[in-house]
Structure 1
Amino acid sequence: MTERLVNQNIYDEITQDFRYWEDASDEYRQLEGSLLPLWRFSCDKSRSLVVSALSWNPARQDLFAASYTPERMLVTPRGVMSVQFHPSHESMLVAGHSDGTVTVYDARNASPGQLSSSTTSGKHLLPVMQVRWITTEPGENMSFYSVSQDGRVSQWFVRTTSLKYEDVLNFNTAQQTKDHVASSNKIDLEGTATCIALSPERKDVLLFGVDTGALFQVCTSDTAHAITRYRAHLSPVTAVAWNNVHTKVFASCALDWTVKIWLQYHLSALMTLDLGGPVMELDWSPSSSTLVVAVTDEGRVFVYDLFFRKYHPLCVQNLLQRRRSSLTCVAFNPSQPIVLVGGEKYV
């Protein structure tokens, strides 16, 4: 806390300028904006690594976590594929690893305590693509979901000394048994889940993106796991996110160059945005129902305001000048007009 206050005093002009920044060139462009690069974060230990996930702290809104995964190494500690701060417990962080382990960290101490899955306690067999906390009521144990390349979608319960798990879905099992179930209205869970999003309205409603390009909505409170299938994309889905204001609207993106906007239970997309390159991740604004940002593999950030223009971006920003560099993830700040973007070697 003392270090944060000292830095704010030393760099007060810089830390305040972004709130009131205006680009004079906006006067000559109709309905087009721009992004102001603020800071670049890097460290020696991460110079050869790729940023795999970003998460803002819900309480201290100048604090964020970034996870890295090894890109080209023969012998290396396990990389981190996904990370997220708990929405209400600011010191709790969950990570999914490249070797299938999930770990919960408590960052309150100088040496953070941690709870990890193991081969005897439900560890995934392949990389964990994404982890997402579940919003719980006071007195409830903390819980989160994980999706892995091994086909499992698991719910984890945080105990004092261990993690307990329960498989919600198993895409591999569904694929193996679909030929033995003769039902004309059965929806088969083909492929492997690549990403997950929890409905802000109902924590028992989950959205999954799949490597076949499909989207699945699952209600976990239904004993039969009611499933809705959306024929979404032509290539693997890289991210799916619910709108923070209109909670029945969600967006998805994929390697087929598109971002699609959906209304819950409507099987056709409301609109399709072509970004001209593989889309790696997207995020909705926490305060505007029409503002969405996405990043592409080619190093560009697209900002759309669907109220002003439906199919033309409000802003396109090239962040990477080097060839063969890419952006991998993006996250809106919970309260400030800041977008955090991660890519190769830096945030």
Structure 2
Amino acid sequence: MISMRNTLVKRTLNERDRTLHERERTLYEREHVIREKSALVEAIKQLCDMKDKQYLEDKHDRAERIQGTIAVFTLNNNHPDTLIHTESTVLSIDCLSSKPYLICVGLMDGDVIVYDISIPSGKAVFTNTSYMCKHYGCVWQVRWCNLSTNHQPRFFSIGSDGKVMRWTCIKGELRQVLLFDLPSATKPTRLDDGTLLSLPGPAIALDFHRNRKDIFLVGTEDGKIYKASTSDPGIIDMTFDAHDFAVYSIQWSPFHPNIFASCSADGTVKIWHEKITECLMRFDLCTSLQDIAWSPYTSTMFTIAGADGKVYIFDIHSNKLEPICEQLLANESGKTCTKIAFNPIHPILLVGDQTGWTSCLKLSPNLRKKAKIRKGIEFADNYEREFDKLAQELSRTVAGDSMNDILIDQTNDIED
């Protein structure tokens, strides 16, 4: 009897062990299947991410590989005298005043090149040989500004990566120096590992002071304008909360050393004093404004290129509320005027649109009148009529004697 009981107990224990072993095996197989499925799903995700990344890279590369063209015209010929083809789309260009045959060019792929247009086919005389030292995005603006004491040409560039760079032309190469990174336009994002990621504020507009060559203004995509100096890299002297949307263009007044104007995608034009954070005058137009240019003939006149295909001309001496002239250049819907510039000698206005056309407009005599000297008033030897004209018109828009004193003061920050 005892042996039979022991046999039954052993069988029962063996069956229980067998059952537990089968359960453990089943659980192990299920976990193994789950791991394989998870690994498969992760592999599919990585493959999709790689394909998306490759698609984006290919799309970006295709955008960068779109060739650009530089066309050099003369006023007596509507066909270009010189055509220069670039490997990437041309977004900005500027001529060196002391050597007009040298032009610096900013490209979509983040590169900058200096060409010599005196050569019929055009020649890249200064190039960037280091692909690590360039903008990681579009170069929206380039400006010559010769600050070098050894007479080496220098220009500055800004891009969508929020960097302000200085380039020096030395022995066929471009030597780059990073001045500073613009502040982030958005709040920092915390990643999974705890690090904070902040995106730079893209820089779109750039202009240097007419007299103080080290002072410049930068307009950003988030509507801010920063005033800084090349003598103090990384330091922002003043910040203007200028517009609600991107600042597309900034330009210092050629007659008043402390006045500049800006236009934006929010459809507003504003006139500023460099020492005052509030704008002196504001004009509202029902379209995005792409570019602004002060008139070289009279201090109170400036012109605007609109996204609606129109050119707006303002003269705050004649009318402080609305433009004195509107000219429709793009008859087709959807065409945008992108760039505008005055000829400093001849009464000519050049306007470029997004389709690649450049229009040449001749200004009427009423749009280039000089300021008249008031009779019966004695002026100092250094009296400047156009400066006084602009200062008087702006002083009528502000209140307080202190503001008027600031407007009529021609001294700059360095002399102060």
TM-score normalised over the length of structure 2: 0.61
Task: Find the aligned partners of 1:154 and 1:310 in 2 and give their Cα distance.
Answer: 38
**Do the aligned residues in 1 keep the contact of 2:92 with 2:141 (CA within 8 Å)?**
yes
Farther-moved stretch of structure 1 (283-292 vs 111-120): 111-120
Name 1:274's counterpart in structure 2: 284
| SS at structure 2 position matched to 1:266 | coil
How far is the alpha carbon of 1:125 from its aligned partner? 1.6
- Contact 1:61 1:334 (C-alpha < 8 Å) held by counterparts: no
Contact in 2 for aligned 1:55/1:83 (Cα 8 Å): no
CA distance in 1, matches of 2:301, 2:328: 19
Deviation at 1:117, TM superposition (A): 1.8
CA distance in 2, matches of 1:55, 1:268: 40
Measured after TM superposition, the shift of residue 293 of structure 1 is 0.4
Is this contact kept in 2: 1:245–1:287, CA < 8 A? no
The alignment partner of 1:267 has SS state of: coil
| Counterpart in the other structure of 1:323 | 333
Deviation at 1:54, TM superposition (A): 10
* Residues 94, 174 of structure 1: alpha-carbon distance in 2 compared, 3 angstrom cutoff: same
- Partner residue in 1 for 2:235: 225
Letter in 1 for 2:238: T
Q: Which amino acid aligns with 1:283?
A: A
Q: 1:263 to 1:286 in 2, by over 3 A?
A: same
Partner of 1:116: 127
**Paired residue for 2:94?**
84
> Are residues 1:154 and 2:165 paired?
yes
Deviation digits for residues 54-110 of structure 1 (CA, Å, limit 9, x no counterpart): 999xxx887999999xxxxxxx94100001111110110010001111000012222
Question: SS at 1:83's partner residue?
Answer: strand
The verdict on how the C-alpha distance between 1:269 and 1:135 changes in structure 2, with shifts beyond 3 A counting, is same
Deviation at 1:153, TM superposition (A): 0.8
Report the number of matched residues.
281
User: Out of 257, 260, 263, which is 1:250 matched to?
Assistant: 260
Structure 1 residue 111, shift from structure 2 partner: 3.1
Task: Look up the equivalent residue of 1:81 and give its one-letter code.
Answer: L
Match of 1:145 among 156, 163, 168: 156
Q: Quick one: which of 197, 207, 211 aligns to 2:217?
A: 207
Q: Given the superposition, is the C-alpha separation of residues 268 and 172 from structure 1 closer, same or farther in structure 2, using an over 3 Å criterion? A: closer
- The CA deviation at 1:336 is 1.4
Q: Unaligned 5+ residue runs, structure 2?
A: 1-65, 191-197, 359-416
Superposed, 1:169-318 pairs within 5 Å as 169-171=180-182, 191-222=201-232, 225-318=235-328
Post-superposition CA distance 1:191-235 (Å, at most 9, x none) = 221110001121111100000001000122136624200010000
Give the drift of 1:283. Answer: 0.4
Equivalent in the alignment of 2:138? 127
Larger helix percent: 2
The alignment's C-alpha RMSD in Å is: 3.4
Range with bigger deviation, 130-139 or 168-177: 168-177
Cα-to-partner distance string for 1:295-331 (whole Å, 9 max, x where unaligned): 1101010001111111211101111111111111100
Contact 1:214 1:233 survives alignment (8 Å): yes
Alpha-carbon distance in 2 for matches of 1:174, 1:272: 24
Question: Residue 232 and residue 54 in structure 1: after superposition, are their counterparts in 2 closer, same or farther (change >3 A)?
Answer: farther
Q: Judge conservation of contact 1:98–1:126 (CA < 8 Å) in 2.
A: yes
Structure 1 unaligned regions, length at least 5: 1-48, 69-75, 180-187
